Amino acid sequence: MIAIMCAMREELEPILEYLKLKETVEYANNKYYLAKFNNLDLVLAYSKIGKVNAALSAAILIEKFNAKKLLFSGVAGAIERDLKIGDLIIATKTCQHDIDLTVFGYEPGFIPESKVFFECDENLNHIAKKVAGKLGIKLKEGIIASGDQFIHSKEKKEWIAKTFGASAIEMEGGAVGCVCDNESVPFFMLRAISDAAEEGAGIDFDEFLEESSRVSAKFLIEMLKEI
Ligand SMILES: CCCCCCN(CO)Cc1c[nH]c2c(N)ncnc12
C-alpha cells in the first residue's frame, strides 16, 4: 500500500481527480480514500494543517492502512531566491523550525533522544529527478522546514534559512518526517511554491494555492507511473 498525504483539501482534490476511488473510510474524525492507480493500491488523505494533524494522519496511514511508503504533495513558501511561485521542490530532509530547547544548550529544532533533521527517501527522490528530466520540468531539491506558523516575514524567513539551511517552508513535513523515520517508512515530499514567505505572503497564498496544488498533484501522478 502506498500513502499519499496532503495537508489541505485543495491539495488533495486535484490528485483524486486522476484516480478511481474504491472506498472511503471514516476514521479518527477524518476521511481516508482507497484507490487504485495502474497496479498500485493507494490510500489518500489530507491531514488538516499543522504538525500535530499531520503526525496523526501519517501514523494512521502507516498503522491502520499499512502504508509501506508515504508520499506528500502540497504547497510551500519559498526561502531560496530562485524558487518562484509554481516551481517544484522535493525535500532532501525535513525539520521543525519552531522547536526551541536552546536554554538547555540544545540546538534549535532539537528534542532530546530525537533528531533535528529527518532524511527523505533517496530512491523516491531519484525517481522524481528522473521523471522531471523526462518531462523537462525544473525540479529543485533542498531542506524543507516546518513549523506551526504561516511565515510572512522576511526576518523570520531569513532566520529559518540561516539556522536550518532550508530552501522552503511549510507546516507539516517535519512532523511526517519524524513519524516515517520512527516507523522506518520511506518518506517523499513534493511541494509547489505558493508564496515567498515574506510580507504579503498570505495574499499570494490565497491567490496561488489552487494552481500550485495542481502543479504538485500533476507531478505526483507522473511519479506514480514510475514507482
Ligand atoms: C489557512 C491557510 C493555511 C496555510 C497553510 C500553508 N501550508 C502549510 O503547510 C503551506 C505553506 C505555503 N506557504 C507557507 C508559508 N509561507 N508558511 C508556512 N506554510 C506555508
The residue whose CA is least distant from atom 1 of ligand 1 is: 49
**Mean of the pLDDT values across residues 157-175?**
98
Residue 6 beta carbon below 6 angstroms from any ligand 1 atom: no
147 pLDDT band (50/70/90 cuts)? very high
pLDDT at 58: 98
Distances (CA, A) of 6 to 32, 44, 49, 73, 153: 11, 8, 9, 5, 24
pTM: 0.97
Residue 169 beta carbon below 6 angstroms from any ligand 1 atom: yes
Which numbered atom of ligand 1 lies nearest the CA of 195? 13
Residue 147 beta carbon below 6 angstroms from any ligand 1 atom: no
- Per-residue 3-state assignment (H helix, E strand, C coil) for the chain: CEEEEECCHHHHHHHHCCCEEEEEEEECCEEEEEEEECCEEEEEEECCCCHHHHHHHHHHHHHCCCCCEEEEEEEEEECCCCCCCCCEEEEEEEEECCCCCHHHCCCCCCCCCCCCCEECCHHHHHHHHHHHHHHCCCEEEEEEEECCCCCCCHHHHHHHHHHHCEEEEECCHHHHHHHHHHHCCCEEEEEEEEECCCCCHHHHHHHHHHHHHHHHHHHHHHHHCCC
Query: For the chain, which residues make up each domain, given as ranges?
Result: 2-224
pLDDT at 108: 98
> Which residues, including other chains, have CB under 8 Å from residue 207's CB and lie 6 or more apart?
none
pLDDT at 139: 98
Distances (CA, A) of 64 to 61, 68, 95, 191: 6, 11, 25, 26
Q: Which residues of 4-36 are buried (b: 16+ CB within 10 A; e: fewer)?
A: bbbbbebbbebbbeebeeeeeeeeeeeebbbbe
* Whether domain 2-224 has CATH 3.40.50.300: no
Cβ pair 4, 15 in contact under 8 A = yes
Burial class (CB in 10 A: 0-12, 13-18, 19+), 40: middle
**Mean of the pLDDT values across residues 137-166?**
98
C-alpha 100: how far from its chain's center?
22
CA 65 to ligand 1 center in whole angstroms: 27
The residue whose CA is least distant from atom 14 of ligand 1 is: 77
Residue 65 beta carbon below 6 angstroms from any ligand 1 atom: no
pLDDT at 130: 98
Residue type at 97?
H
CA 50 to ligand 1 center in whole angstroms: 9
Model confidence pLDDT, tens digit, residues 169-206: 999 999 999 999 999 999 999 999 999 999 999 999 99
Q: Quick count: other Cβ atoms within 10 Å of Cβ 166?
A: 25
Residue 76 beta carbon below 6 angstroms from any ligand 1 atom: yes
CA 181 to ligand 1 center in whole angstroms: 23
Residues recognised as catalytic? 11, 195
CA 201 to ligand 1 center in whole angstroms: 9
Task: Tell me which of 47, 75, 157, 212 to substitute to probe ligand 1's pocket, judged by most ligand atoms within 8 Å of the beta carbon.
Answer: 75
pLDDT at 184: 98
Task: Tell me which of 84, 95, 205 to substitute to probe ligand 1's pocket, judged by most ligand atoms within 8 Å of the beta carbon.
Answer: 205
